[in-house]
Amino acid sequence: MGILDNEASVFASRFPQQSRLLNQPYAGYVMGKTEEGRPIVVNKEGGLSTERKSIIGMDGKHYVIPTMFGGKTVSVDEAADRVFDAGFRDPDTGRSIPGFSSVGEAAKEEERRNQRLRNDRNISAAFEEFWRLKNR
C-alpha cells in the first residue's frame, strides 16, 4: 500500500486570522455535521476539521480515503482497514470511495473534494457559531 498524506485544512485558508486566534481548550468538541453527515470538530490547532485524507494505493488503484471517523483521527492503516471493511464506502457518510488509475487522478479528486467542503454551508455555519462562542 503506497501512501501520500494530505491533511485538509479548509478554514485555515478561508479564515486565516480567525483560525490563528482560536485556541486548544475546545479541541475535540463537535460543532455539527457537514451536509454529507461528517462531524465538524474543533481540532488541536484551534480550527475546524471535517476530515483528514490520504491517498492509498491498493491492487493497482488509488483511493482518497478519510482518516477521521466520528471526529477522531486514526492511522492510515486503520483508515484503510475501515474503508475496506465497509466495501470502499465512507463509514461516516456511506459515500462510495472510487478508485483511480493514477495518483494524479486521485489527487485531482482530493482537490475537488476540498472545494466541495469549502462550499459546505454547514461548515460555514459551524465556524461562525464557534467564532461567536470564542468571542463572548
How many Å is the Cα radius of gyration of the chain?
15
At residue 110 the predicted structure's pLDDT band, cuts being 50, 70 and 90, is: very high
Write out pLDDT tens, residues 38-87. 899 888 877 888 888 999 998 899 999 999 998 889 999 999 999 999 99
Which range is least confidently modeled, 56-65, 70-79, 99-108, 125-134? 125-134
One-letter amino acid for residue 22 of the chain: L
Residues 100/134, Cβ–Cβ less than 8 Å: no
Give the separation between CA 39 and CA 16, rounded to whole angstroms: 21
Report which of residues 101 and 31 the model is more confident about.
101
Question: Which sequence spans correspond to the domains of the chain?
Answer: 3-134
φ, ψ at 72 (rounded to 5°): -115, 135
C-alpha cell read off for 106: 486521485
